[in-house]
Each structure stands twice: as structure tokens, then as C-alpha cells.
Amino acid sequence: MNGPHDLGGAHGFGVLPLEDNEPLFHAAWERRAFAVTLAMGATGSWNIDMSRYARERTPPAEYLASSYYRLWFEGLVRLLEECGLATRDEIALGRMRRPSAPVKRVLKAEDVAKVLARGGPVERDTQTAPAFAVGDRVRARVMNPHGHTRLPRYVRGHLGTIERIHGCHVFPDTNAAREGECPHWLYGVVFDAGEVWGEARAGDSLHLDLWEPYLERA
């Protein structure tokens, strides 16, 4: 979706909010929002692409005015409702009004280290061969899907060169829509910064990891 999250190249956001001795969390609630988001992720009720898609559907004005953990919180609320795990009333009230829905697993304290260490690798076996080889010239497709995608707007239509083949990775566009992992080849693609931004940028380059459906031969 062409949402407020797709920020590459936008102007007007001002200087960086640099802080000396920055705390890991800026308020007590951020700590809790972080932990409940990870713990709910561990129930297996959704995948990471659904989480990102839920956050980026925060209405644009609200998205840009929200801190990172606020966005996590709003995304979590959206997923709980959409997955039928809680209603908006229950969430506002903080009390159960309807029975729980079954979840695949509940993260226990003693399993946290193991679950974090395992993570969620997204490389998958495949019988297909990659369509592109290192050194091939490609163009990032011009596309504007309504759903989730990881092809940033600022490279669409631009020419790049394949510099690495990462393997066959879960495809976020389908995975976020609960339409399956549909793994595709993922490539490291280098773009010339001057070509992307339309001005001379002696030697500077942009490097993006893009799935095969995002690319066409140039």
C-alpha cells in the first residue's frame, strides 16, 4: 500500500531526534507494549508480515504523529480484533466480555530464551532456479498494490543491477494477506543514487533486497 510508512526520500521531517544516553524505553508503557507484542506474536496467531501490515494501516496523520511503540500498540489492537482474539470494547475496558479464542501456544518464561534464539528464519527450499544472475540489469517494477508490499515507492521504475542472490524467501505480499508464504527468490539489487534521485551523486549507491516479482529484466 502507498501508505504513510513508505518514507524513503520524503522531505520536511526535520532534524534527527538525537539524544545523549538515550534510554531503551522512554516510558514504562513502552516496555509493556513491547513485551505484550512479542508475547502475542509468539502465540502464532499471525506472522511478521501481518504485523507490519497492521501497523502501516494506521491512518496517515495518526501514523506520522505516533511513536514507534504507539504504532506497535495500534497494530496489535488491530490484529487482536481482526483475528477474533478480542473486541475493541474488551480492549478499551481491559476486561474479558467474551470467552477466549484458542491460540496455538502461550509463551512461558522458561521458553523465552529458546524462542528468541530460534527467531523466524524465512529462507525456504525451492525447486525453481533464480530468473536473474549477479550482474544482470533489472528494473524495479512500477506497481501500486493496495495490500502490503516491501517494494519502496522511491525505487519503482528505476534501473538496478543484481549484486547478490540471498535465496528463496517468504514473500511478504502474500504472507501479510494470509495467502501463504509463496517463497520467491530474493536479490540484493544496487541502484545508482544519481539515477534514482535525478541528480549527480558521485558514486553513491542504494542497496535494496527485492523479491523476483518486484523486478523485470531491463
Partner 1 sequence: MELRVRALESLLVEKGYVDPPALDVLIETYEKQVGPRNGAAVVARAWSDPAFMQALRDDATAAIASMGFTGRQGEHMVAVENTPDTHNMVVCTLCSCYPWPVLGLPPAWYKSPAYRSRAVIEPRSVLGEFGVTLSGETAIRVWDSTAEVRYLVVPRRPEGTEGMDEADLACLVTRDSMVGTGLALTPEEARARGLLA
Tell me the C-alpha distance between 19 and 22, whole Å: 5
Specify whether the CB–CB gap between 56 and 148 falls below 8 A. yes
CB of 128 to partner 1, least distance (A): 18
Pick the stretch among 124-132, 138-146, 165-173 that binds partner 1 (CB under 8 A). 165-173
Q: Which residues of 13-44 are buried (b: 16+ CB within 10 A; e: fewer)?
A: eeeeeeeeeeeeeeeeebeebbeebeebbbee
Size of the site for partner 1 (CB under 8 A): 88
Q: Is 215 in the site for partner 1 (CB under 8 A)?
A: no
Q: Is 141 in the site for partner 1 (CB under 8 A)?
A: no
Please list every residue from 19 through 38 that binds partner 1, using CB under 8 A: 19, 22, 24, 26-29, 31-36, 38
SS (H, E, C) 60-110: HHHHHHCCHHHHHHHHHHHHHHHCCCCCHHHHHHCCCCCCCCCCCCCCCHH
C-alpha grid cell, residue 65? 504523529
Q: Please give the C-alpha separations between residue 28 and each of 23, 63, 140, in angstroms, as whole numbers.
A: 11, 21, 42
Please list every residue from 172 through 211 that binds partner 1, using CB under 8 A: 172, 186, 188, 193, 197, 202-211
Q: CB-wise, 106 or 134, nearer to partner 1?
A: 106
Pick the stretch among 4-12, 126-134, 135-143 that binds partner 1 (CB under 8 A). 4-12
Q: CB-wise, 35 or 143, nearer to partner 1?
A: 35
- Find the binder of partner 1 among 82, 139, 141, 152 (CB under 8 A): 152
- How many other CB atoms sit within 10 Å of the CB of residue 149? 23
Q: Is 136 in the site for partner 1 (CB under 8 A)?
A: no
Q: Is 10 in the site for partner 1 (CB under 8 A)?
A: yes
Q: CB-wise, 32 or 137, nearer to partner 1?
A: 32
